[in-house]
Structure 1
Amino acid sequence: MSSDVFSYESLVHAVSGAVGSVTAMTVFFPLDTARLRLQVDENRKAKSTPAILAEIVKEEGLLAPYRGWFPVICSLCCSNFVYFYCFHSLKAGWLKGKQSAPSTDLIIGIAAGVVNVLVTTPLWVVNTRLKLQGSKFHNADIRPTNYSGILDAFVQIIHDEGVGALWNGTFPSLLLVLNPAIQFMIYEGLKRQLRRGIPRELSSGEVFIIGAVAKAVATAVTYPLQTIQSILRFGQFNQSPHTSKLLSSLKTVKCLLVNRVRKYGILGVFKGLEAKLLQTVLTAALMFLLYEKIASYTFRLMGLTNSHYKKR
């Protein structure tokens, strides 16, 4: 019986996180478009978020900032469902009713992130390709793609590049499990501090602020790897077929980082950070706000409000 309740609570967290993230990403999607262009299209002159969005609209049309919305939302929904479910399942199993600590949140966040990366990377590879398809690039070396949708993208990538291409960027993605792990560690820690041992529901303002702070710190720390991850997912690079996958991944990440620094300076690996911070901080803050409200309302209907807050 307790196992059933535990599984159901994890499901509530997973659905609440997925719905919150999808809604938040839809609201701030154009900012993610600007961030991705700044990371991948190295020769673009526009450097600020408003400038690049204005340039995209002028060159590609009013709806261009929302290009690739559907595959991104599908990927995000699956990714956050998996992450939230794993995080809260592992946390409940580990703690068994005891209060958590920052180190515990970090370890559980990393474990949940690894599972999430291995399961959902193919979706993110496809959504990156679709999001950039039809874009007017300022870098002549970028090869155009022609996918009719999510399924066609899967088929073409497997046919032209092999099944392994669906996991392009997995190595930096595994390193980037630190991003949500740090985010959740800070978020859960700040939440405990605000409650100070009293099981209560935080206000909307409190949730929004601590969600924004947590994501801002996590993004700033891990952004150089996020840039390399975007480049690898886009597939516009060459890997040596004569080395092992792990060694090849290490060399590729190192090569891309070094080349970027040599070409643009140390700030080159932080290109698009303004757009990323603006988008990801606002998105995460809104996502956590919606997640907490949906989960709280659901648990209240289940009559589990008090025990729910004590476990967190």
Structure 2
Amino acid sequence: MSSNSNAVANGLAGAGGGIVAQIITYPLQTVNTRQQTERIDKKKKQPHSPSKRSSSGTLLQIFQVVRSEGWGGLYSGLRPSLLGTAASQGIYYYFYQVFKNKAEAIAAERKAKGLGDGTVGMFSWLVVAAVAGSLNVLLTIPIWVLVTRMQTQTQAERKIIEGKKQALLREASESSSIDSTLQEKLAELDSIKPRPYGTLQAAREVFTEAGITGFWKGIIPTLIMVCNPSIQFMIYESLLKNLRAKRSADKQGFKNVTALEVFLLGALAKLGATVSTYPLLVVKSRLQAKQEIGGTNMLRYTGTVDAIVKMIRYEGLTGFYKGMSTKIVQSVFAASVLFMIKEELIKAYMVLADKSKKLLIKLNN
């Protein structure tokens, strides 16, 4: 298989694997995004705040979403998310394979000159993954801004409703009277059931708030987070390389790297990457979500530095790890499924390409 067709095969296989993994784990992703964007000022007591939901278990939160919003609440933003996954995985794996081929060619040239053993080192894998990841981020972040908005829409609406109720109660306490009109207004607010909105509505809202640049909110932490797939693929490629070398030494051959083994290697690689870069993911999600989720200005952010400073000041370092256990389960499982399906699709592509090549040879003869 040529280097170009190799890159295309990896791009298509990555997109296919990413879509399947996204559909399977999307409810966990929705809950995790809400956990990340929930903000509580530790210096203030909030005994009646709905933010207490963030301390409950992931499964309980899933049931709460289904009960209050229906199954659609768990899949809010799924359509643009699938588009984003296909685009992200396709773009990433395509450029990753292109730069990987170049790195391997350079390593082979160096070996021919008597420099090195012809293999690509860890640092080179890191650079290859980082360049591919940066291109992916710049091209696809607008999609993920919309997905985050759609996943956290009901959170923001609840905060807005809660703010209106508190304003009415303050107004009543200042006038020292609670009349029937106030009770009717409070009842009307209580009757409002926040619902997720569509992609176009989310896009209009982002554009109205910040113009075209609003679609690149959180670009700084997202670009820094390029190290996540870089670390992930560095670990994955190193483990896979060692496994193949061991199989080759045992004369068992490449084919003995099974789908289950690829699944486990993908899980280990993603686990290491997720733990090390999670705080950046929290900052990114908070910048991309509606700032009404923060309630007061103390918990609303104007940029990356402002978000980091306020999170440290009002929530402490634990704020950077909200929902991490959910993310580990979701991302590790998704990555494992993605790697497994990707490798199987590539094998299927190679088999089909080989059969097509043989068929063309027969026809030409």
**TM band (smaller chain):** 0.7 to 0.9
Residues 3-38 of structure 1: per-residue CA shift (max 9 Å, x gap): xx3221101000101110110110111110110010
Give, in angstroms, the shift of residue 138 of structure 1: 5.6
Match of 1:246 in 2: none
Match of 1:17 in 2: 14
CA distance in structure 1 between the aligned counterparts of 2:77 and 2:209, rounded to whole angstroms: 21
Q: 1:34 aligns with which of 31, 36, 47?
A: 31
Q: 2:344 aligns with which of 289, 293, 309?
A: 293
* Between 173-182 and 94-103, the greater mean CA deviation after superposition: 94-103
Give, in angstroms, the shift of residue 137 of structure 1: 5.9
Give, in angstroms, the shift of residue 300 of structure 1: 2.2
Instruction: Compute the TM-score of the two structures, normalised by the length of structure 2.
Output: 0.73
Kindly indicate which of the two structures has a greater share of residues assigned to helix. 2
Q: How many residues align?
A: 289
CA distance in structure 2 between the aligned counterparts of 1:63 and 1:146, rounded to whole angstroms: 9
| 1:91 matches 2:100 | yes
Over 3 Å counting, the alpha-carbon distance change for 1:142 and 1:226 in structure 2 is: farther
In the TM superposition, 1:196-211 aligns within 5 A as 196=245, 198=248, 200-201=254-255, 202-211=257-266
Q: Secondary structure at the match of 1:25?
A: helix
Over 3 Å counting, the alpha-carbon distance change for 1:147 and 1:65 in structure 2 is: closer
CA distance in structure 1 between the aligned counterparts of 2:306 and 2:268, rounded to whole angstroms: 32
Match of 2:272 in 1: 217
In the TM superposition, 1:56-135 aligns within 5 A as 56-96=65-105, 98-135=118-155
Q: 1:45 aligns with which of 36, 52, 56?
A: 52
Q: 1:162 aligns with which of 206, 211, 230?
A: 211
Judge conservation of contact 1:168–1:235 (CA < 8 Å) in 2: no
Q: Which amino acid aligns with 1:114?
A: S
Q: Which amino acid aligns with 1:157?
A: V
Give, in angstroms, the shift of residue 159 of structure 1: 3.9
Give, in angstroms, the shift of residue 116 of structure 1: 0.6
CA distance in structure 2 between the aligned counterparts of 1:160 and 1:136, rounded to whole angstroms: 15
Match of 2:314 in 1: 263
Over 3 Å counting, the alpha-carbon distance change for 1:148 and 1:66 in structure 2 is: closer
CA distance in structure 1 between the aligned counterparts of 2:69 and 2:204, rounded to whole angstroms: 27
Instruction: Compute the TM-score of the two structures, normalised by the length of structure 1.
Output: 0.85
Over 3 Å counting, the alpha-carbon distance change for 1:139 and 1:260 in structure 2 is: farther
| 1:171 matches 2:233 | no
CA distance in structure 2 between the aligned counterparts of 1:152 and 1:30, rounded to whole angstroms: 21
CA distance in structure 1 between the aligned counterparts of 2:137 and 2:290, rounded to whole angstroms: 17
Q: Secondary structure at the match of 2:303?
A: helix
CA distance in structure 2 between the aligned counterparts of 1:146 and 1:291, rounded to whole angstroms: 35
Match of 1:308 in 2: none
Q: Which amino acid aligns with 2:20?
A: T
Judge conservation of contact 2:133–2:230 (CA < 8 Å) in 1: yes
* Between 276-285 and 96-105, the greater mean CA deviation after superposition: 96-105
Judge conservation of contact 1:29–1:65 (CA < 8 Å) in 2: yes
Give, in angstroms, the shift of residue 156 of structure 1: 4.1
CA distance in structure 2 between the aligned counterparts of 1:137 and 1:235, rounded to whole angstroms: 9
Match of 1:277 in 2: 328
Residues 216-275 of structure 1: per-residue CA shift (max 9 Å, x gap): 1101000000000001111428xxxxxxxxxxx9x8323322322333332111001011
Judge conservation of contact 2:77–2:199 (CA < 8 Å) in 1: no
Judge conservation of contact 1:142–1:236 (CA < 8 Å) in 2: no
Over 3 Å counting, the alpha-carbon distance change for 1:102 and 1:136 in structure 2 is: same
Q: Which amino acid aligns with 2:148?
A: T
| 1:194 matches 2:194 | no
Q: Secondary structure at the match of 2:71?
A: coil
